[in-house]
Amino acid sequence: MEINKNVEDDGVIFMSIKENGNEIHGSAGSGGDDAGDVTILAIESSCDETAAAVVRNGREVLSNIISSQIALHTVYGGVVPEIASRKHVEKINGCVRAALSEAKLTLDDIDAVAVTYGPGLVGALLVGVSEAKAIAYAKKKPLIGVHHIEGHICANYIENKDLKPPFACLVVSGGHSHLVIVRDYGEYEIIGQTRDDAAGEAFDKVARAIGLGYPGGPKIDKAAKEGNPDAFTFPQAKIAGADYDFSFSGLKSSVLNYINQAKMQGQELDANDVAASFQKAVVEVLSEHAIRACKEYGMDCLAIAGGVASNTALRELLEKECAANNIKFCRPSPVLCTDNAAMIGSAAYYEFIKGKTFGLDLNAVPNLPLGDRERRYHADKNR
Ligand code: KG4
Ligand code: ZN
């Protein structure tokens, strides 16, 4: 992946992501598409990234634009929803324009518009949903609402061209920790989930406590490389009767207690050691659950998804464990693990070819559960 970055005057980082440094991946740029090709313009604005992408046939990324507000929220130690919504409003048209221009296409060339409609921050989601609805209405294009987590899972299709369901997927982001069996395209069986904090949330909270700041995940990842993962033994929760569920709040509290105790005793705290030991506890639990799920559910392929899936230690451990257990390991590049619109375009394709489109009454659903699409699906005729 080649990432071209540009820091704008307001601190927002504008990124254009290209595969292997090629102008654009696949056949795009060579002109139009073949009959039967499906080209989707996808939009994502569920948190603090405004993103637009053009994806052909679910796996070929013609353009992938991300406008990241992360620097704006860093000073507050986390995402401020009101700031996020306002920035999305400012950035979204530019992202869509850039995505179309990099794909060398116009709105007339696309077959459908896709957008994340939940879960996420309601004010943030609404910006993307309104943009997608406006384009769908003005250009008379089908509209496809996509579940954000489903998008994360589908990021795996982009770089693993042969990946097909069924497979197991560990979804670990800032708001979710799910262990999912992907039975078919768009069909998900959740076999485990967090009882309290999501994995990314635990990374963010611990990073704040040891003074690394926001966003915690990447900072802990970096600090851990300089630390000793065996310096401290933090607890790894097991939940009786729910073998695949996770719990990270006990682990987080244990780290916080240690930090407070050290402070009270006037001890010097080695943040790198704490980061490495905490990270080890998290990734070992995630890996153990995922490998056991593959074995018990007879899955010969494990995929990972979500922001925490870009964690170096998690990727290394799963690579080792999958090899030892004869399981194929699929993972998107780190930039496709965190929020982007290419993954939304991939998920939307598999809905589109099933004929599933949404009406213009599509709304943002901040707490949309995974697997709830059927109930919220509106046939095209309702438009
Ligand atoms: O998927 P994502 O970009 O947004 C959500 O849908 O939540 O995930 C963001 C989360 C944050 O909690 C962030 O700290 C975490 O992913 N994260 C990481 C890493 N990069 C991002 N956690 C651990 N290691 C990383 N390298
Ligand atoms: Zn996400």
For every residue of 25-74, DSSP letters joined together read STTTTSSS--TT--EEEEEE-SSSEEEEEEEETTTEEEEEEEEE-HHHHH
pLDDT of residue 372: 53
> Which of 97, 103, 3 shows the shortest CA–CA distance to 63?
103
pLDDT of residue 98: 98
2-158+338-382 belongs to which CATH class? alpha beta
pLDDT of residue 32: 57
Q: Output the CA 230–ligand 2 centroid distance in Å.
A: 30
Ligand nearest to the CA of 341: 2
pLDDT of residue 49: 96
Q: Whose CA is nearest to atom 13 of ligand 1?
A: 217
Residue ranges of the chain whose pLDDT lies below 70: 21-33, 372-383
| Phi, psi (degrees; rounded to nearest 5) at 127 | -65, -50
Atom of ligand 1 nearest to the CA of 152: 1
> Which of 176, 140, 167, 116 shows the shortest CA–CA distance to 373?
116
Return d(Cα 340, Cα 63) in angstroms, integer. Answer: 11
Atom of ligand 1 nearest to the CA of 49: 3
pLDDT of residue 1: 86
Name residues contacting ligand 1 (CB within 6 A).
47, 173-175, 200, 203-204, 215-218, 221, 306-308, 310-311, 338-339
Q: Whose CA is nearest to atom 7 of ligand 1?
A: 174
Give the mutation target among 308, 310, 311, 337 for probing the ligand 1 site: most ligand atoms within 8 A of CB. 308
| Phi, psi (degrees; rounded to nearest 5) at 290 | -65, -45
pLDDT in tens, 264-273: 999 888 999 9
Q: Output the CA 73–ligand 2 centroid distance in Å.
A: 16
pLDDT of residue 145: 98
Q: Which CATH architecture has domain 165-332?
A: 2-Layer Sandwich (3.30)
Q: Output the CA 212–ligand 1 centroid distance in Å.
A: 15
What distances in angstroms separate CA 157 from CA 22, 243, 344, one per listed residue? 19, 28, 11
| Phi, psi (degrees; rounded to nearest 5) at 30 | -85, 5
Ligand nearest to the CA of 305: 1
Q: Give me the residue spans of the domains in the chain.
A: 2-158+338-382, 165-332
What distances in angstroms separate CA 76 from CA 72, 82, 315, one per listed residue? 8, 12, 30
pLDDT of residue 370: 86
Locus of tokens 């097991």: 238
Q: Output the CA 306–ligand 2 centroid distance in Å.
A: 6
Fold equal for 2-158+338-382 and 165-332 = yes
Give the mutation target among 15, 311, 338, 344 for probing the ligand 1 site: most ligand atoms within 8 A of CB. 338
Query: Using DSSP, how many helices (H) and how many strands (E) does the chain show?
Result: 12, 12
Q: Output the CA 341–ligand 2 centroid distance in Å.
A: 10
